[in-house]
Structure 1
Amino acid sequence: MELNCVQFLENKTILVTGATGFLAKVFVEKILRVQPNVKKLYLLVRASNDEAATKRLRTEVFEKDLFKVLRENLGDEKLNRLLYDKVVSVPGDIATDEQLGMNDSNLIERMQKEIDIVVNVAATTNFDERYDVGLEINAFGALNILNFAKKCVRAQLLLHVSTAYVCGEKPGFLPENLIFLEDIRNEDGLRLDINFERELMKERLKELKEQDCSEEDITLAMKELGMERAKLHGWPNTYVFTKSMGEMLLGNHKENLPLVIIRPTMITSTFSEPFPGWIEGLRTVDSVIIAFGKGVLKCFLVDVNSVCDMIPVDMVANAMITAAATHAGGSKVHMVYHVGSSHQNPVTFGEIHEIAVRYFTKNPLRSRNGSLITVSKLRFISSMALFSFYMTLRYKLPLQLLKLIDIIYPWRKGDKYGDKNRKIELAMRLVELYEPYVLFKGIFDDRNTKSLCANQKEEESKNSEKMMFDFDPKVINWGDYLTTIHIPGLITHVLKR
């Protein structure tokens, strides 16, 4: 068991899928910053050829503000040399086949000879994704990654990033348990058959195409099918259902390959590295925070006493590296780590609201005409039935939720989806999608993660004065983090103000 993460990364060859995603690029940046003597990083991105893959990595990863510390430390010339020497852009798609959509046989052969660690971060995270897309990426894409990893003769570990919410809507204390396919039965006692789900999806897709449906109608029908199948088997949406199936397929087919599953909760902006507050896009509760700050949200469906389980992205990356260093090459490894805060350092939605009120009262945003926006406390409604009644009674749906929709889905001028009826439809769908999380009653047990973190702290205390791979949620002061790091980060990196 290896615990010194910096030493572990030295001379390692690592494949990372989903390399242009938020978490993956933080993971890659951390490795390059702390261990420039990593042997090689193969970064798989969806692209048609080498040139397109290289361009995507340059524009969507290495030119981002995230890399400014590395750039300042090394200078442009040395950083470019480091990227040239260590990074290989790989055009591919995990949903395609066991070759991950790669066409270069020489590259495939080289990768399978060299790769030590496979890290799967690729996923579609849309709650109501098309069922065909969700299945092929989150479920069978994970299986493709596993089968590719098995062909890597030096492979010591497959580290797969899932989500803590594969638990569905279960309340109470949620242990870091594996999900076994044979244990999944719906209310009628019907067992889940993943291959049947795939065939059902393909048959429905074939029917829609034979009926000459438009792409828009096919998309809507496949989204509805995903939500229908998810709810039939006990999950609230297509995203967590397909991620759960991915875990089950990995567990059933892993054989002797060491497997670690990282289950983060809601991932937020960087806590400290490479600098505090870096974020891309509106994530988790961020859309509500920004809508509130803009003064367009007066009420929302939420239980103020429910815990909002958040964890900074750099802590997730640190947990990933530490878990890889700990378990690489281990025999019969099949470990799960919940990476979150609800057990050791919980913060409720009500507390987040109070923090946001204080922040935007002291630091108001400006409207388009330059005037300061005054915020007032939200009206919280704790059940879907009461929320629907309130919206209908007060005629607030077009006023409140449509403005929130405008923030989450910025409409292009002349976009037919920007009409009022479409916004109302999206608004109600948004509330339904968020309902399981804003009313969530679960607390994620993290004893595995806590033990991993404690061992890492002990190891680092022997060799360094500074924690380089900290992921202890107890160090987060939520009031300070939200007001001095996270919300300013949203304003700087998302709102660009």
Structure 2
Amino acid sequence: MVDGARIIEYFRGKSVLITGSTGFLGKILVEKILRVQPDVNKIYLLVRGIDAKQRVDEEVIGTELFGLLREKHGEEGFQQLVEEKVVALAGDIIYQNLGLETPMLEDLAKCIDVIVNIAATTNFYERYDVSLDVNVMGVKHLCEFAKQCARLKMLMHVSTAYVSGDREGLILEKPINLGESLRQGTYLDVDAELRLVREAKKELQLNAGDEDDASRTERKAMKELGIKRARHFGWSNTYVFTKAMGEMILGQLRGDMPVVIIRPSIITSVQADPLPGWMQGTRTIDTLIIGYAKQNLSCFLGDLSMVVDVIPGDMVVNAMMAAMAAHSEEKGVQAVYHCTSSLSNPATYSMLYEAGRRYFYENPRVGEDGKVIPTKEMYFFTTITRLRLYMMLAYKLPLEILHLVNLLLCGLFSRVYNDMNRKYKFVMLLVDIYGPFAFLKGCYDDMNLERLRMTMKMNTLEDQMFNFDPRTIHWEEYFYRIHIPGVLKYLCK
């Protein structure tokens, strides 16, 4: 049984190594551990850069998210707590031994109880070599280090629900087997993919021109290779493809080490504590909200009746902490949890859209010129073909005509042309990036997480501090009162 009191007690005296602490989930996790259990032994934060402490101070501890903790302890007490408990380590999971010197690595291996891997490159169209380094080899290097940790009680790996690709029906919480592919008749050999990248880069270097040109050519080639390989095996982009490979490597190398894989869907702003609405980094639906707020987005791809699987960041962290306490020292376990909402409390695109309409009609945006930006209706197209036809007739053809007229009239309509062209490119970029997710018909099974939830009766204040039940969320109100204002405050600057 896991309840709030047990979760809090679990972290007493523990030493936790966290990667990806400068990211959205990482910050929430660090803050939560410090707030609920100040008697944690140490929280080690592995961050890139020469001055790791400065990065942690500025990008983690110095953020608004830690305001409640500051208020609780006072500025002096807060600084003392951080000084005693938080240790910044300059390193990187893309390197063997995590980029740490041998003495430091050996000292860490003697004291670490829990490893939490949140580090990832989440760029859908990242360079293939970069994605493999972080999302695949990073997992390998952490596994190798974890096996050296004498006191290790568990390794937690944060993945994504979208490693399942565009499957339909109920998607189960089960591990991905080595070599498993989404395209029938193909076998995904991770080592072969790593060799392919090395050989491709070697060939590019042999045919390279000047340094700048070579760099641009390599960057473009690596991005294209990532998408090509992802789609060859049935995934839509490089991010989810390499995250799936990372899970395979983890399953292969874990041995009898207790492992928990957390697969969130679209992570949205903090719902409850420590700071409702706080967020970092633009997610899929946030791009749509920002585009609508600025009225750069007049149409998009999607069916308003379809489910958009979202989960607040604080709920993901609460589930992570509960799972750590539940599976600590369970030799040989490999637990998979979907932190999702599509099965237990589905939100639809119409809920998000109506909340957005309501919000912007009641709180109209003001442009840089001081004028109110009128809120217009957005049109949704249920097929890519219809959207492309609309964009051609409404934007592409008028743009071509306007371009010719503009040339004849010596740039008289440059401003109008540039504005229309920007909107056209913005919509088409979003379609290219997020189009594959617009019609996902999969529903993520969360029975493993439900079993974990059932052990928490939510009778005490401690239990309520670790709520991760999406059924407690009223989506329309959450979007209207918390998430959309959060997007505008923290992302739309």
Deviates more, 1:13-22 or 1:382-391: 382-391
SS of the residue corresponding to residue 240 of structure 1 reads: helix
Instruction: Find the counterpart in structure 2 of residue 164 from structure 1.
Output: 161
The Cα of 1:186 is off from its aligned counterpart by: 3.4
Instruction: Find the counterpart in structure 1 of residue 312 from structure 2.
Output: 312
Deviates more, 1:277-286 or 1:15-24: 277-286
Answer yes or no: is 1:12 the counterpart of 2:11. no
- The CA distance in 2 between the partners of 1:251 and 1:2, in whole Å, is 25
Instruction: Find the counterpart in structure 2 of residue 478 from structure 1.
Output: 475
The Cα of 1:2 is off from its aligned counterpart by: 5.8
Runs of 4+ in 1 over 6 A off after TM superposition: 418-426
Gaps of 5+ in 1: 400-417
- The CA distance in 2 between the partners of 1:422 and 1:153, in whole Å, is 56
Q: Is the 8 A contact 2:292 2:298 kept in 1?
A: yes
Mark the CA change 1:454 to 1:2 in structure 2 (over 3 Å): closer, same or farther.
closer
1:12-161, aligned counterparts within 5 Å?
12-48=14-50, 52-97=51-96, 99-103=97-101, 105-161=102-158
Q: Is the 8 A contact 2:395 2:424 kept in 1?
A: no
Instruction: Find the counterpart in structure 1 of residue 197 from structure 2.
Output: 201
- The CA distance in 1 between the partners of 2:30 and 2:172, in whole Å, is 29
Amino acid in the other structure paired with 1:356: G
Instruction: Find the counterpart in structure 1 of residue 188 from structure 2.
Output: 192
Amino acid in the other structure paired with 1:281: G
SS of the residue corresponding to residue 335 of structure 1 reads: strand
1:242-281, aligned counterparts within 5 Å?
242-281=242-281
Amino acid in the other structure paired with 2:158: V
Answer yes or no: is 1:285 the counterpart of 2:281. no
Mark the CA change 1:419 to 1:114 in structure 2 (over 3 Å): closer, same or farther.
farther
- The CA distance in 2 between the partners of 1:422 and 1:376, in whole Å, is 18
Q: Is the 8 A contact 1:26 1:313 kept in 2?
A: yes
- The CA distance in 2 between the partners of 1:475 and 1:142, in whole Å, is 34
Question: What do residues 212-247 of structure 1 show as CA deviations (whole Å, max 9, x unaligned)?
Answer: 152122111101000000000110110000000000
Question: What do residues 237-284 of structure 1 show as CA deviations (whole Å, max 9, x unaligned)?
Answer: 100000000000101111010100000000011001102111123222
Deviates more, 1:482-491 or 1:321-330: 482-491
1:291-302, aligned counterparts within 5 Å?
291-302=291-302
Question: What do residues 441-497 of structure 1 show as CA deviations (whole Å, max 9, x unaligned)?
Answer: 111110111111121x23x53x5475111100001111111111111112222235x
Higher-Rg structure is: 2
Mark the CA change 1:73 to 1:398 in structure 2 (over 3 Å): closer, same or farther.
farther
SS of the residue corresponding to residue 245 of structure 1 reads: helix
Gaps of 5+ in 2: 400-417
Size of the aligned set, in residue pairs, is: 469
Amino acid in the other structure paired with 1:211: N
Question: What do residues 399-453 of structure 1 show as CA deviations (whole Å, max 9, x unaligned)?
Answer: 8xxxxxxxxxxxxxxxxxx999999777534312201111211111101111111
- The CA distance in 1 between the partners of 2:425 and 2:192, in whole Å, is 31
- The CA distance in 2 between the partners of 1:115 and 1:365, in whole Å, is 49
Q: Is the 8 A contact 2:42 2:87 kept in 1?
A: yes
The Cα of 1:387 is off from its aligned counterpart by: 1.3
- The CA distance in 2 between the partners of 1:464 and 1:298, in whole Å, is 45
Amino acid in the other structure paired with 1:208: L
The Cα of 1:75 is off from its aligned counterpart by: 1.1
The Cα of 1:385 is off from its aligned counterpart by: 1.6
The Cα of 1:27 is off from its aligned counterpart by: 0.5
Matched-pair identity in %: 45
1:177-188, aligned counterparts within 5 Å?
177-184=174-181, 186-187=183-184
Deviates more, 1:288-297 or 1:248-257: 288-297
Q: TM-score, normalised by structure 2?
A: 0.91
Q: Is the 8 A contact 1:162 1:261 kept in 2?
A: yes
Amino acid in the other structure paired with 1:14: V
The Cα of 1:60 is off from its aligned counterpart by: 0.5
Amino acid in the other structure paired with 2:8: V
